Amino acid sequence: MASHRPLIGIPTQTLQAIEGIPAGLPPSWVMNQRYYLAAAGVGAVPFMIPLLEDIATLREIYNRLDGVLLAGGVDMDPSTYGEERSPLCGVIDRPRDLVEMQLARWALAEGKPIFGICRGLQVLNVVMGGSLFQDVTAECDSAIKHDYVPTEGWSRDHLAHEVSVHAGSRLHSALGNTHVMVNSMHHQGIDRLGTGLAVTAVAPDGLIEGIESRDERYLVAVQWHPEAMSGDHASRLLAPFIEACA
């Protein structure tokens, strides 16, 4: 655990962007507590970042952070990577897109460590000029099932498929293995890889499951949800990130 407990910003999401939320509730920002518990468990001080349109205030929040963690959530707006929205694209949260992309740009420009989980991987890929499959099953003929979502009865820690981890990557250093079983709760994924990114893990169907920066900047992201997996999986992945932030 880091001797200095770094302040890690984790952006929220708009409550109304979640399917099934009753009408009439006041606009609210929320986020799954597991991300904050996982970060705190390896020595970070997690901080909930509101989805502010006030860029000056957002910048003041960012300036106080030692690192940024982009969590899972709803689909990105396809306009962020220059595409029309497909009927298969799910719920979007435009304020979250704007805030997370801005935080990522600042962090990348200034070398502040950044870690992405599921949607977070997709956000980082888009920020680096890449694009996404709006629905993996529809757009990839050889795709395996990736959407083992809780709303269909799957547990969040269900080990859905194996990923092959590239030797020599930061991900491999953290996990200590080239083959790992992971959970899977997404229907979108990386199509065109962003500039300056290296692939660090792939699913059996070839879908990109892990990325990192090609330079010295600490940018690491995975397509699965380590915070929901049992054992020490989350701490193994997050500990090097927190060390870099400290």
List active site positions.
Answer: 118, 225, 227
Residue for token digits 């083959």? 179
Distance (Å, whole) CA 68 – CA 61: 11
In the chain the beta strands, taken as DSSP E runs, fall at 7-11, 13-14, 29-30, 45-49, 67-70, 114-117, 132-133, 161-165, 179-182, 189-190, 197-202, 208-213, 219-222
Q: Residue 225 corresponds to which tokens in the numbers above?
A: 């949800």
Phi, psi of 158 (to 5 degrees): -65, 125
Under 8 Å between Cβ of 195 and 129: yes
Q: Is 15 exposed, middle or buried, given 0-12, 13-18 or 19+ CB atoms closer than 10 A? A: middle
